[in-house]
Amino acid sequence: MQSDQPAGGENPTVTDQFAGSQEQPQVLICDPIAEAGLEQLRESCAVTVRTDASSDELHQVIDQYDAMVVRSGTDVSASLIDAAGNLKIVGRAGVGVDNIDIEAATDAGVIVANAPEANTVAAAEHALTLLLASARNVSQADSDLSEGDWNKSEYVGTEIRGKTLGVVGFGRIGSEVARRANALGMDIVAYDPFVGPEPVESVGGELCSFDDVVERADFITVHTPHTDETHHLLGASEFEAMKETTHVVNASRGGVIDEDALAAAVESGEIGGAAIDVFEREPPDPDNPLVQSDDVLTTPHLGASTTEAQRGVATTIADQVLAVLNGEMASTALNAPSLESEHIRPYVDLSEKLGQVLTQIVDERVEELEIAYSGEVADADTEPITRAVQTGYLSPILGRQVNIVNASRLMEKRNVQVVEQSTNVDYDFTSLIKITGRTGNGDEQVVAGTVFGDSTPTLVRIGQHRVDVPLESHMLLFKGSDEPGVIGHVGSILSRHSINIAGMYNSRETIGGQAIMVIVIDTEPTPETYEDLLDIDEIHAVDEVQL
């Protein structure tokens, strides 16, 4: 597949050596991007630019890198991801991710992020350029004149004012095309199964069925990704249903249109013309019927090829890479949730720690994890919080294998059902997250927490016991009887083993009844420490919790 190169030749092929020193995060640039993005990355990362590397070379060295940046020229296959032991993010400097195996990346916990906004205007403007050029036979007239033929009378075009533009796919680019076309006096009809009528009506258009768009439009512009569902979305039967004067424009993805059928429809006069910027195979074969046709205007995937767009996608993807390498979330991640606001970030940290606590204090395998949100947090987008709970629950078991990208899939593989509940009322806390782990024999363990004003994640409940424990790095959870002298005895043993107590929190059901004690400590206990603690008659169990 041809790489969509940056405009202006800002970033030629560079043959740097592959990664050496690991003092900084290592970033591999596999396809050319604008220099502005490289400069951004170089401020805090070691950047290797290898736009000439073969697939075999990438497989041999990819495990040295924390991030890789690609355009459409590099195949990020499942095998390449499998070889990438340290990879945290694949950044696509552009929109389409057909060349990235997102399923494999998700399974491996690798974020895939793109730059969906930066080239929107460039792509929309190019689609309109193709539309206008096709309407006025610009390509054919230019070719004739270049050969010395003044065929003015042969190329009578058609005005677009008052004509109907059919927009197939009303996302970012499709809606921008529609907005501009409406300003030029065109009527808009649109088809997109994933949007309601409001976005279309906001640009003076009408949301219709696919068949209506095909039959009514004088011009049709396609703006959908290429998927199994959209493969050859426009084919022989659709061209037959169009008006004889209809022009078809594709500046989205190759494969959405049946190229052989389109070439035949134009050649036979079944439709009025076509202008194509993308192909099912890029670069197209020399005998591709669309390239060979004098009646079809073709360009070599120029939709995003403006200086402004290339700089925009480069700096956008640099932002995403740097965010992930700094332990933050990528706002344009395709396989991980993004934060709707900074307000919920402390709850993401809280929920991951609550998940870690639950795993380390539950006695048997959990088969159901119930996450209940109450108070203000229930009104937020809770997907990143739920993912963080799952990450925290699995991390003591799986270690670095799990993160917010693959946690949900790993829970499914372990047959742990995740249930969410929300209510915007909580009488004790502004916001509360409660996690209940249920085992196969019906036992339950509950932990709950909140975030206080200084963003401190705090454990406020264990089982039926109310506590008030800042979630620190190391804790001991004691279960036993509420008897005099126990706290002093525990403190003496920890002191004898040179373990400093950073905080102590107690809770009991009734005087003399069951009690729990949580002690935050600075150093890890030895096996001998546990033996001495369990020799205390009133102590029934001691759980160690590491965060």
Domain co-membership, 237 together with 315: no
Residue 74 lies in a domain: yes
7: tokens are: 């405009």
pLDDT of residue 3: 41
Please report whether residue 305 resides in a domain: no
Catalytic residues: 253, 282, 301
CATH number of the domain within which 511 lies: 3.30.70.260
Same domain, 129 and 71: no
pLDDT band of residue 18 (cuts 50, 70, 90) is: low
Residue 72's pLDDT band (cuts 50, 70, 90)? confident
Q: Which residue has the tokens 């604008």?
A: 34
Query: Would you say 69 and 111 are in contact if contact means Cβ atoms under 8 Å apart?
Result: no
Do 275 and 370 belong together in one domain?
no
Same domain, 28 and 90: yes
Q: Which two tokens stand for residue 360?
A: 């380390």
pLDDT digits (tens, 9 = 90+) for 199-248: 999 999 999 999 999 999 999 999 998 889 999 999 999 999 999 999 99
pLDDT of residue 513: 78
Of 471, 487, 502, the last residue of a domain is 471
Rounding to the nearest 10 degrees, give the CA dihedral for residues 127, 128, 129, 135: 110
Q: 434 and 508 share a domain?
A: no
Q: Is residue 331 part of a domain?
A: no
Are residues 279 and 148 located together in one domain of the fold?
yes
Number of domains making up the chain = 4
Please report whether residue 135 resides in a domain: yes
Structure tokens at 334: 């395709």
Is 359 contained in some domain?
yes
SS3 content of the chain, % helix, strand, coil (to 5): 35, 25, 40
Same domain membership, residue 24 and residue 58: yes
Note whether 146 and 281 are same-domain residues. Answer: yes
Tell me: the pLDDT tens digits for 25-38? 999 999 999 999 99
Q: Which of 477, 545, 543 is nearest to 515 (CA)?
A: 477
User: What confidence tens digit (pLDDT) does each residue in 365-404 have?
Assistant: 999 999 999 998 998 889 999 999 999 999 999 887 799 9
Min mean pLDDT across 8-17, 145-154, 284-293 is at: 8-17
In angstroms, the CA 493 to CA 518 distance is: 15
The enclosing domain of 47 has a CATH number of 3.40.50.720
For residue 433, the domain's CATH number is 3.30.1330.90
If pLDDT is split at 50, 70 and 90, which confidence band does 22 have?
low
Same domain for 151 and 75? Answer: no
- Give the domain extent around 495: 473-547
Output 117 or 41, whichever has higher pLDDT: 41
Task: Tally the residues of the chain.
Answer: 547
The whole-model pTM stands at: 0.77
Query: Does the residue 332 lie in any domain?
Result: no
Q: How confident is the model at residue 453 (pLDDT cuts 50, 70, 90)?
A: confident
- 3-state SS of 456-522 is CEEEEEECCEEEEEECCCEEEEEEEECCCCHHHHHHHHHHHCCCCEEEEEEEECCCCCEEEEEEEEC
Task: Output the CA–CA distances (angstroms, integers) from residue 188 to 95, 178, 276, 427, 468, in the order listed.
Answer: 25, 7, 20, 51, 60
* Whether residue 496 is found in the same domain as residue 390: no
Question: Which conformational region is residue 399 in: left (phi greater than 0), alpha (psi within -120 to 50 degrees), or beta?
Answer: left
Q: Please report whether residue 379 resides in a domain.
A: yes
Same domain, 42 and 77: yes
Residue 215 in domain = yes
Q: What is the DSSP letter of 162?
A: T
Whether residues 319 and 372 share a domain: the answer is no
Range in 124-133, 314-323, 523-532 with the lowest mean pLDDT: 523-532
